[in-house]
Every structure is written in structure tokens, then in C-alpha cells.
Structure 1
Amino acid sequence: MDKQTKQAATFFKCERLYDSLFKQLRKKYESIGRIGGTIPIRLFSYEELEAIAGLFGKSVATLERKGTVSIVELAEALNDTRFSGVDLKALLDAYFGEELVSKKEQRLATAARITSFLERLAKSYPILTDWFAYIQTSTSEGRWILRQAEKSPDQFEQNVALLARAVTALPTHSERLPMFSQRITEDPHAFDLHTDLGKMFLYVLAVRTGDEKPVAIPKSTETINKLLQTSNIYRDDLLNFVTCANLLAVDQSGEQHPVWQATGASHTVQNVPLREIVSLSRIYPAQGKKVWIVENSGVCSTLLDYQRDIPIISTNGQFKLAALMVMDLLIKENCSLHYAGDLDPEGLQMAERLFNRYPDHVQLWHMDGKAYKESAPSKELSQERLAKLDTIEHKTLREVADAMRLSGKAGYQEALVAHMLVDIRSS
């Protein structure tokens, strides 16, 4: 820095009325990457405008009529002061004690630094090579991971080391997520899915197992559980359960499961946890090939009050992995699944998801326009919930969705139990 530039910087730093001007000059340079542009005079107090006007050799009234301060003209005006010959960019650097760079240059420098950092990590942990490539090329899904690398590189590197260790030691047999986490990190909660490490672990698994391009990152409980299951990891195998009655099962050895046999013979309802389902090779109805599936436990229990021997499943709300695994095994037995859910936006989404999963085996059960009307819709729906109907594509469900938009109300399957019983008894 030359002596004159240093003197100019010292002068302006000692005059507080120029502080706002220099801060605005910095913002403008960082924004456009050059000396240029204008600054609105509304950003300055009257006293500050007096000081700025003095640099131009003009009155405040002249600046007010113009409405802006031209930065190029300001640079030229410096030549009419005792600081003639001082470059405005050099003056800004001296004033702030650092070389100013544009936001674009900052982004490019940060991107280059992160790329170099990730390339070094990829060489150290080659088992994650595909994942490193994914997070750098992903347009949106991987950005938050890059922000983690930028914000706290040391912590990020520690997490990468744990991810590499986890992938190297994925279980060959069923293992619960907390036990897997304890084995890999000595912390049973390290891979909890609300943590950064847990989320990154899902991304790693998705990249490793996904054939889709772009990679499908799981969002729902169902898809997350399914992804973990591909690596023999289960989040919760006790509280993840399904309610069912009048179904029989065969274990991995090919033997009839005695508990399922006893509950089927006595028409007893059982809540079956995922822990027990994973040990089965077959599940099938105690009679026939039809299985009735309802969303609500109250409806399930009421139907069983009148018809104790019906093969029935209650999902108890959103589909848990336990329910889906039971249905997967029923499909292998070529069963037909008759599904009835609530006639609200979420219920229609669940029905469509089930239909898309088993298109040749699912029959919608009292989920058409007629059923919606018979349910006497009365529950007002918010616009946010009604917006969920835009995702519905199934022809019959879209018919319900259109009617729901018009009424703005939801219907519920409890109102349709009598109709359901007629179907069951005539089947």
C-alpha cells in the first residue's frame, strides 16, 4: 500500500461521517465486482450528506435533486482533493484492512475450497466415492451437506469417517438401528435420523442402493424404513406393529407358527411387532383369498364384533413397515386386498400409495364418490390440507378429490361400517 493511500484511509476512518458511505461502497463493490453503480441518498443522514457533498464540491440540495451518489463520479472527485491519484478500490481495501472481493468471487473461492476438501476426503475414504460425487452434482438434495462441510469442516470430516466405518460394517443379518449405531460409534443415538449424521447416513445408503437418476432420497417414514431394511437395519421392531386377525403364518423353517395358528383358531386379534414379522416366510388368510384392510382400529374392532372370522388388518393410521411387510407376504399368496381408508386428503393419499404399490391386488373399498357422499362429510378442511388433493391421480380417488374440493369437507369410514358389513357377509 502506498503512503498516500494509507493517509487517505486514516483520514476517512477518523471522520465518522464517512463511515456509512464506505460501508455502502463496500456493499456495492461486493455486489457488482467493480467500481461503479450508484448509492441512494436516502441511506444517509443530512450530516453525512453534507460530508459527501463536500467531496464533490457540491451542495446537499444538488445531491438531493439527483437522488443518488455516483460511485464513478466519487472516484473522479477524489482527484480534486489532496488525495489526488488515490485509487478508490485501493482506498476501500486500506479502509477495511482487507482486499475486497465480489460475492461471486467469494462463492467461487468457497466452491473451490470445498471441492478440494471433498476430493481429499474421497481419496481417504474411497468407499464413499459415489456419495461425494452425488453431493457435489446434486442441484438441491446435497446442498445442505455441502453447507455442513463449509460451516464445520472438522466435524464434517469426523462424520465422514463414521459413515465410511458404517458402510464397511453394514449388518449381514437384521440389526436394530440403536445397536448398529452403538457398534459403529459407541453411541446408540449417533445415527438417530434427526441428527446430521443420521441424515447423511440415509443419503449414503440411498446413493449406494438407488438405481434411479437422480437418486431418490427417502422422505416418508415408509420409504426411510424400506431403505434401512435393504441394509438389514430396523429402526424399531417392537413399537412398529400391525393389528390383524384370522391370518395364519409359516416361519422360516417352513413350520406353521403356533401363535398365529392359535389366534386364527380362536379368532383372537393380535398386535404383531416387526420383530416377529421378519422371522416369517408366509402369511395367508385362515379362509379364502380376501383380506379386508382398514385404516382405523375402531372400525376394525366393530367389524369383528359382527363377523369374528374375517381376515382383517388395521394399519392404525399411516402405513408402518410392519403393515407393509404383512401385505407383501399376502401378495405373494395372491390375495386380494380390499382397502378402506378415511375420506380426507391424507386418506386418499394413503389409498393411492397402496394402489401404486400393489396395482394388481388392491381393490378400493368404499372409497368412491358414492361412499364419500354416504359418509356425510362434515369436517371442515383447511386450504393447506385441500392442496394435498392435487397429487391424486387414481381415477376413482380423483373423483372423490374433486367432490372434496367442492364441499371443503372430509368424511370418515366410521360412517360406512354398515355398508362394509354387507360386503363382508356377501363375499
Structure 2
Amino acid sequence: MGIVELSLALMPLWQAVHARLSSGRPVSRVNVGPLDFDQRTAVADLLGSARLPGQHLSIALERLDEVLRERTGQDTRDVVTRLIGPIGDRAAERREAEARRAELWEWLGGHPVVAAQPALADWTAGVRRAGLVEGSVARTKNELGKALRVLAELPAAGQPLPSFADKVLGHTHALDEGTRCAHLVLKALVAIYDVPPPVDAPERRALWERAGIADDQLSSTVLAAGLRAQGGVAGRILGLCADAGLAATLTLQQLRATTRLTGVPPEVWIFENPSVLAVALDRFGPDCPPLVCTSGWPSSAGILLLNRLRAAGSTLYYHGDFDGEGLRIAANVVARTGAAPWRMHCADYVAAVTDGPPVGRVTGVPWDRELAGQLTELGKTVPEERLAMALLDEIVRRTTT
């Protein structure tokens, strides 16, 4: 009896054997069924049995090998390979797929954008729970790569969404409503800003605007005091206000009209809260050291000014509130501007904490692994305003010695 003669009525048997051998696990017996009368007759003929088997039967692979070698000169593996196709190894394929997924999640967790803003840990966990895009590691990594490129450029400098998408991703519609990339980025912004997920188009637009995606160049502003620089209208405004001992408010439009700054101070001190600038101006007047205020989360104008200062040669130092949101703001400013955290370490918090409101949700920061744990343990906010005079004293010591 040849292989072709064996193949038709016995096809359920060959398929069952092929599936078991392709499992990648040791195989001693193969279960097959239900079988019709012709198929049961063919199995009885194959095994040389005088009795018909039942509709379901279990056959020892060793017995099948013995019969097939006698009748065809080939073992079971050879026969099913010729009749069905190559035998796979699903266990090995699963292990390989698991390894590829593990490599993907390790890449995501260690990506510089994620490492720079630990608040994104919640986002990465959500991405993992959502699983692979269309079951593909490659497609998932491609989509995540695009989202991470976008996040690396946010907050933006007040650009419209199509032009921003074209600049970062090479396509004006890459971040349109409903695209997978836009969905991923908005979920990441929810984690960064610790806000509820947007539920409709107006809320999504508001979240984009918070990240600097907008047509409005006038409402995005940044405060500065004692900051003197040359270059365009922004440089003139800064100089006039510094000489008068007043705070300067620069719009995004004014900063974008100033292509670059020169003659910047060697060090610039960044604060989260405007009240610190008010204290500094009351104390120093026209002699105020160069200060910039983010007024909470930095605006597009704030990020642009700080990056212009850094590009011109200023070293940036950042301080903010010791609470959950303050740490997220600090991580965002550090990641986007290259500022150095200043008096924002665990020892600084422990030395300053007394009583205060709860710290809220706390996420880690890259520059001090112990800081988030101490905030969580002690649970008390240290507002930046409480430290204002001590911080200004230190600036004076550092700039006059």
C-alpha cells in the first residue's frame, strides 16, 4: 500500500499526527476522531486489525511507526511530512514570540522618552495590557516609535497639529483624529499631566493645546525677571523690564519672531511659581538675578525661551514644588530643556518638610530614586514659596562668589 493510497481515508489520522508532532512536545500517543465508517475501516486495514476501532481512538506512535516502516519504508514523521507538509514546532514558535514581545516591552520601558518622565510608566503599562497591534511585534514597535518621536517634541512651540505632524512624522495627517498614533500620544499626555482621559473632540483639542499644539501664539506666555539678552523684540522686552526691576511677559509670537538670543547670562534659574519671582523682584529690583517662571506646567513659550537660552550658552537650573504634580512638572522641564534639577533631591525635601497638604499621586524622577519614596512616606507637600528666601539666598551666594 503506497502513501497515496493511504492518504484519503486516513487524512484525519495524518492531520492529527501532524498537529501533535508540530506541538514541539514529546509525543507517545495520538488521539483521533470522530471517524466515519470508511475512515475506521481504513485505520483497521492500516493496523491489520480484524475489528473496527471506535469513532474515537488512541494510537501509539511507536505502533504507527512500525506499521508504516513495514508498508512504506518510512516512519510516521516522513509520511505526514509528505502528505501534509513540514512539521513545525509550536512550542519553539511560542517561545520565540514571547521573547520578541519581552524584547519589545523592554525597549519601551527603557526608551529615553519614558526614562526621562517616569509618569509615563502608567502609559507603558496600559500599552502592554492593550497587546500587540494586529498581533505583530513589528507593527507595534513602529506605532510606538512614532508616538515616542511625537512625545519627544512636546510641548510644541504653538504649531498647528498638521504642520507639527508633518515636521515630526513626515505626514500632515499622521496625528489626525482617530489615528492610532494620536490615540497613543493622547493617552501618554493623560499620564504626564495626570488628567482624566478626554471623552470628546473638544476635550482632545484642549489636551493637544496643553501640549503646545495650537494656532494661538498670543495666549501662550512665559514670565521672566532679571533676564537680559540681545536679539529681536524678545531681547528688547527682557532688557527693558530687567532694567526697570519688573517682570517681563513674553508671548510665543514674540519669541518666534526672535530667531536667536545672544549675550545671555551664564546661569538662569527656573521656578515653578510666579510668587517666587514677585519675592525676588521686591528684594532685588533692577539687580534681580536672571529668573524664568513656568507658572506650573511649562507653556510652549516657556519651553521655547528655555531652549533658546540653553542654545545660546546658559546653564539652566530648575526648582519646583515638592508634591506629586511638582515632580512630574520637574521631570517634564528637565527632559525638554536639559535643565539641571536644583535643590530638588531627597535630602532637600526631608530638610524642608513640616506640615502641608497631601502630596497626591507621586511618580518617580530620574535624578533621585529615593525622592518619590520619601514623598509617599511622609505625605506632606513642601510648596516652593516656603523655600523662596533660602533659594534666593543661595543664588546670591553662587553669583557673587
> Which bracket does the TM-score occupy, shorter chain normalised?
0.3 to 0.5
- What's the TM-score, normalizing by structure 1? 0.45
- What's the TM-score, normalizing by structure 2? 0.47
